[in-house]
Amino acid sequence: MKVEDIISELGRGGMRLPEIQRKYVWVRSQVAKLLDSIYRGYPTGSLLLWDTTQEIIFKDLETRIGTNAKADFNPKVVLDGQQRITSLARVFDPSTARQDRIIFNVIDEIFESYSPRNASDPRWIDVTQLLANEVTELDVLDRLIEAGIIDSKDKALKNEVHERLKKLVDMRKYQYPVEIIREDDLEIVTEVFIRVNSGGTRLREAELALARLAWKLPGSIVGPFEKMEESCLERGFDLDTRFLMRVSYCRCNPSEPLQRSQSILE
């Protein structure tokens, strides 16, 4: 699936995130590395989607792409690849705040997080502006010539930079391998979700329990836990969902030995 097709599907509501997916957590340096890998044609993993007729509670991407989209068909559910998909959507979204964008040095071929210092240097271009069609390759070339970065008579350098800009635009054609699960058994899908999202790190008991409960009780688990987490944070307590899940477990099992409850909290 091409990157441009992924963005198109998100825009028309053809791909959605289930509520169980964690929040978008990537920082800009990770997005810059992703773009660098795509630019150079390196593998960046695959996507796992779920094609189902089950009624799923969805959550919005942290981007305006696809906001209020109402598909007249069952959207594919993203089980693995949320961080990359959201990152790409934010890069293609012209409403993404400037300080959250990625810039590209057309001379050194380097991707970096936006900074006012680099942004003032004409060698650095805003990737979103180019990919969202706010500027063209020729616009960028003209700006580089006007700034004296490229000598208009230096055809070799001009062609080289133009090729880099075309390569940047061609990132839209980068293809992701996509696997699609067509299975309505929630037990199986939950197990698949847990395995592919473990990222090589063993999921703890609380995380497993939360994932299973969220699939079985859509709309009743994730939302309340996130609200509780936000309320705790507002009061100065940085407690994550895993901790709250453990506390709930201890609360619901008061007859267990104290040592058992302490071990769960630890």
Q: Check residue 56 and give its pLDDT.
A: 86
Give the confidence band of 257 by pLDDT, cuts at 50, 70, 90: very low
Taking residues 226-255, what's their average pLDDT? 69
Per DSSP bridges, beta strands 76-80 and 102-105 are unpaired
Gap between the Cα atoms of 47 and 1, Å rounded: 9
Span 34-76, pLDDT tens digits:
999 999 999 999 999 999 988 888 988 899 998 887 777 889 9
Q: Check residue 262 and give its pLDDT.
A: 45
What residue type is 36 in one-letter code? D
Gap between the Cα atoms of 94 and 130, Å rounded: 10
Span 149-170, pLDDT tens digits:
898 888 899 999 999 999 999 9
Gap between the Cα atoms of 184 and 189, Å rounded: 8
Q: Check residue 251 and give its pLDDT.
A: 56
Q: Which residues pair with 112 in a beta bridge?
A: 103
Gap between the Cα atoms of 47 and 5, Å rounded: 13
Residues 6+ apart with CB under 8 A from 231: none
Give the confidence band of 229 by pLDDT, cuts at 50, 70, 90: confident
Alpha-carbon distances of 219 from 127, 222, 232, rounded to whole Å: 37, 7, 20
pTM: predicted TM-score of the whole model, two decimal places: 0.77
Kindly report the three-state secondary structure assignment for every residue of 222-249.
HHHHHHHHHHHHHCCCCCCHHHHHHHHH
What residue type is 155 in one-letter code? K
Alpha-carbon distances of 115 from 100, 101, 139, 141, 221, rounded to whole Å: 9, 9, 21, 21, 39
Q: Indicate if the alpha-carbon torsion angle 57, 62, 68, 72 is positive or negative.
A: negative
| Residue 80 predicted with pLDDT over 80 | yes
Alpha-carbon distances of 12 from 39, 95, 223, rounded to whole Å: 26, 17, 25
Contact (Cβ atoms closer than 8 angstroms) between residue 144 and residue 150 = yes
Q: Which two tokens stand for residue 58?
A: 């969805």
Which long-range contacts (C-beta less than 8 Å, at least 24 apart) are formed by 106-113?
Answer: 106/140, 106/144, 106/161, 106/164, 106/165, 107/149, 107/161, 109/39, 109/164, 110/36, 111/32, 111/33, 111/35, 111/36, 111/39, 112/32, 113/28, 113/29, 113/31, 113/32
Span 186-224, pLDDT tens digits:
888 888 887 887 654 444 556 666 666 776 667 666 677
| Residue 261 predicted with pLDDT over 50 | no
Rg of the chain, C-alpha, whole Å: 22
| Residue 256 predicted with pLDDT over 70 | no
